[in-house]
Structure 1
């Protein structure tokens, strides 16, 4: 994207501009928003001042960095076109002045993403960026406590929030496990705080929860980038141990709820573990990580309108790469070969593909983190067959990241064939990976939707939890 983006910028600056006029004074603050892959919207504040014959300035990104100001390395204002650039963070904005609207209409690029952006003088508040009617607001009719607990094995301190009904007592409790990538305790995605909404609903309906920042993120210590799903399971086990030491928790009704990758961690934690009273899998997988990759590429291809023949061709082309990463080989040992495969794929790609990114950009973007490799190599059957407690598995039929039909079928089969008939399997029609009722149902729509989660989902889960007998009685 970055190279193609700069081709666009150069053409804007060097080509003829039909609406060219005397430049307006652009000194002062300018406000805009841009959108990333999952529909995450971010505010940007550009502060410009005169610098000789030109301008200099700073950039603020309030949602990404609270008080930091980044020096804008390049400020070009020619005719009616404004160009801003910061190479170190791969940020760029180019816009053309709209005299009627009194703002620059253009494109923002950040890393590998690009988004339409209007840059104007009117300040933009957080509330104007996102409308999230389900996000709970104080005062809350329940008890909330900020907590910390230590994963001694990995020398990690985890920070989280414990929530329960206000009255004293021992409550069923759910440990909430977030999806892939570094996540905060609310599992915030595109302004949606899924776990906050769930914790609020559960507390209002007699159920306690614990949610925590991933290691190396938020207020938790540790290094996320060098960790995998098995490290995350150590954190979850530590959280369970912490919960069982509390006097306001029913240790025989202590369960885990995982969303997406968190559902995988829940499988690992619950395997052959009598301390887990129940499992809830939200958008969890039943097929291997390698098979999931092909499912995702097929779903995204269909979403883009590709014919089946082209989708299959894409999968065949990428097969050597994914097969290598999914093998049991040492990551460092296979990295040179993996990069060689990607270079060959790039060199044999169409010119349209090459216009979007360079060969080196493709290599750089290839995600070979420990987390990704562990997901690719994950085989759910290994753990599902060891789970003996009640399991609820729910997926949305409009989820293009985890196919509902295939994965729910495999989860149910793995549990039932190994003697666990305490299963509740449910497909929610028309819901996406976040369990939102969606329109296009593409991942880029997450942030556009006001709904954080379809209300039927937390209601369904809470009812199921409350009717379960204590594990002591099973």
Structure 2
């Protein structure tokens, strides 16, 4: 990762900009965007005012907080270079004036992410940040209803959207389960609303759906940060019970569709559960959470051009840390031991590694929520062998988060060896973890791609659902 100083040096040495006048007035509002890990874009509004011989100002982040203004702790403007910092937010901007476009061109740092950013005078609207041609717009030619249902066991109220074809009738229904981290009902990632697009396609093709906000997020109550995958399964079971009360749902054709972590939740929910008519696993795992860590590190290493020997060396260095966290020991007991392992790894790392992060920052960033720990310790075989209903597992071959070959092979093996031959396994060539047709296929590309999902995927799923016989006919 390039340092901000090095980027500035490169710009200056290449002569791609000319010096601005020393007395140029930069007071007023400046607008820009920056990207985070998955390519999510966020607007920033910088408002600068003269302050003696220098400047002071505020930062506004509309996507993160509608009305909050954060005081800039550092504002340095010398000739053509602008430096802004708010250490409490771990925010920084370093840019060089480019008179060809009348903008500061540079780097924004936010938490652990850095991205190229421009600051200009033109206001940026939310609609201008992304192009999403597949996102449906009202009026919709089908029925939608905002609903709420209660997980009494955990005292959680879940808010969601039920969608079905416009005509009255009893429809097969898909309950959608979202991936890791707090997600809204549309599973919005980097401006892509995957579940909204799927619900739209299903409703236009004779299939109902229910999608809901994760507990503790958007319209749902509860505490996400203290919850794990088994708590999320309780929410899914509550949603299943709610669907059975609806007169426009065929109770013999209620299935689960889980994406990424949601596929894990679907496995847990469907195990020994006759109420589940089918399961669709999108980008789901068949190997243990511990094995998945090594698969992901290998995939990222290859994307970075590392040799196999270097990848294996990296895995060996981290093995004690991951093995300890993945053990069945009490997490409160193993956490300080794991952090000490991490400190030793840091101390023995190269200076280049240490430049990007301090030892304490690394340890703080390593603190895991119950959700992450439960995923790390998850063993799919335990639940897959208890699933008897039709099961579809699909993965993209360009997915660097969940390897298609290894995970589909294990899913199929676990189901078949325990007598479930109602399995459909499919690899989609050239698709990433979001089932987009990708170019670099790295995770930070998700937001750059206009496609939300390759059209072949919802068509394949809908056809499969519609040809399934009701439960009583099996």
Contact 1:149 1:242 in 2 (8 A): yes
Superimposed CA distance per residue, residues 235-266 of structure 1 (whole angstroms, 9 cap, x where no aligned partner): 11111111111111111000000000000000
Contact 2:103 2:119 in 1 (8 A): yes
Q: Give 1:38-53 correspondences, 5 Å limit.
A: 38-53=38-53
Superimposed CA distance per residue, residues 389-446 of structure 1 (whole angstroms, 9 cap, x where no aligned partner): 0000000011011010111111011001101000011000110100000111111111
Superimposed CA distance per residue, residues 102-146 of structure 1 (whole angstroms, 9 cap, x where no aligned partner): 111111110000111110001112232111100001110011111
2:103 aligns to what?
103
Return the alpha-carbon distance in structure 2 between the equivalents of residues 189 and 23 of structure 1: 43
Shift of 1:385: 0.3
Return the alpha-carbon distance in structure 2 between the equivalents of residues 367 and 109 of structure 1: 21
1:288 aligns to what?
288
Return the alpha-carbon distance in structure 1 between the equivalents of residues 228 and 181 of structure 2: 10
1:140 aligns to what?
140
Are 2:384 and 1:395 aligned?
Answer: no
Return the alpha-carbon distance in structure 1 between the equivalents of residues 473 and 448 of structure 2: 46
Shift of 1:68: 2.3
2:450 aligns to what?
450
Residues 355, 228 of structure 1: alpha-carbon distance in 2 compared, 3 angstrom cutoff = same
1:125 aligns to what?
125
2:409 aligns to what?
409
Q: Secondary structure at the match of 1:393?
A: strand
Q: Secondary structure at the match of 1:239?
A: helix
Q: Give 1:58-77 correspondences, 5 Å limit.
A: 58-77=58-77
Shift of 1:93: 0.9
Return the alpha-carbon distance in structure 2 between the equivalents of residues 347 and 40 of structure 1: 32
Return the alpha-carbon distance in structure 2 between the equivalents of residues 207 and 20 of structure 1: 60
1:328 aligns to what?
328
Contact 2:89 2:110 in 1 (8 A): yes
2:268 aligns to what?
268
Contact 2:398 2:432 in 1 (8 A): yes
Return the alpha-carbon distance in structure 2 between the equivalents of residues 376 and 71 of structure 1: 39
Contact 1:162 1:208 in 2 (8 A): yes
Return the alpha-carbon distance in structure 1 between the equivalents of residues 8 and 138 of structure 2: 50
Q: Secondary structure at the match of 1:76?
A: strand
Residues 247, 365 of structure 1: alpha-carbon distance in 2 compared, 3 angstrom cutoff = same
2:468 aligns to what?
468
Return the alpha-carbon distance in structure 2 between the equivalents of residues 10 and 332 of structure 1: 44
Return the alpha-carbon distance in structure 1 between the equivalents of residues 7 and 286 of structure 2: 45
Q: Secondary structure at the match of 1:230?
A: helix
Contact 1:143 1:166 in 2 (8 A): yes
Return the alpha-carbon distance in structure 1 between the equivalents of residues 408 and 300 of structure 2: 20
1:350 aligns to what?
350
Shift of 1:28: 1.2
Return the alpha-carbon distance in structure 2 between the equivalents of residues 291 and 23 of structure 1: 59
Contact 2:30 2:121 in 1 (8 A): yes
Q: Secondary structure at the match of 1:447?
A: coil
Q: Secondary structure at the match of 1:34?
A: strand
1:157 aligns to what?
157
Contact 2:320 2:341 in 1 (8 A): yes
2:81 aligns to what?
81
Residues 460, 367 of structure 1: alpha-carbon distance in 2 compared, 3 angstrom cutoff = farther
Which segment drifts farther, 454-463 or 42-51?
Answer: 42-51
Return the alpha-carbon distance in structure 1 between the equivalents of residues 367 and 164 of structure 2: 39
Superimposed CA distance per residue, residues 342-382 of structure 1 (whole angstroms, 9 cap, x where no aligned partner): 01101111111111111111111114211111001100000
2:277 aligns to what?
277
Q: Give 1:7-18 correspondences, 5 Å limit.
A: none
Residues 6, 134 of structure 1: alpha-carbon distance in 2 compared, 3 angstrom cutoff = closer
Return the alpha-carbon distance in structure 2 between the equivalents of residues 367 and 264 of structure 1: 22
Return the alpha-carbon distance in structure 2 between the equivalents of residues 8 and 238 of structure 1: 53
Contact 1:23 1:80 in 2 (8 A): no
Return the alpha-carbon distance in structure 2 between the equivalents of residues 352 and 51 of structure 1: 37
Q: TM-score, normalised by structure 1?
A: 0.96
2:200 aligns to what?
200
Contact 2:215 2:221 in 1 (8 A): yes
Q: Give 1:219-368 correspondences, 5 Å limit.
A: 219-368=219-368
Are 2:184 and 1:184 aligned?
Answer: yes
Q: TM-score, normalised by structure 2?
A: 0.96
Q: Secondary structure at the match of 1:451?
A: coil
Return the alpha-carbon distance in structure 2 between the equivalents of residues 376 and 106 of structure 1: 37
1:435 aligns to what?
435
Return the alpha-carbon distance in structure 2 between the equivalents of residues 10 and 410 of structure 1: 48
Return the alpha-carbon distance in structure 2 between the equivalents of residues 243 and 21 of structure 1: 66
Q: Secondary structure at the match of 1:364?
A: helix
Shift of 1:18: 7.6
Which segment drifts farther, 297-306 or 86-95?
Answer: 86-95
Shift of 1:53: 2.8
Q: Secondary structure at the match of 1:105?
A: strand
Q: Secondary structure at the match of 2:337?
A: helix
Shift of 1:80: 1.9
Contact 1:5 1:109 in 2 (8 A): no
Q: Which residues of structure 1 form unaligned runs of 5+?
A: none
Q: Which residues of structure 2 form unaligned runs of 5+?
A: none
2:371 aligns to what?
371
Shift of 1:50: 2.0
Which segment drifts farther, 73-82 or 194-203?
Answer: 73-82
Residues 18, 131 of structure 1: alpha-carbon distance in 2 compared, 3 angstrom cutoff = closer
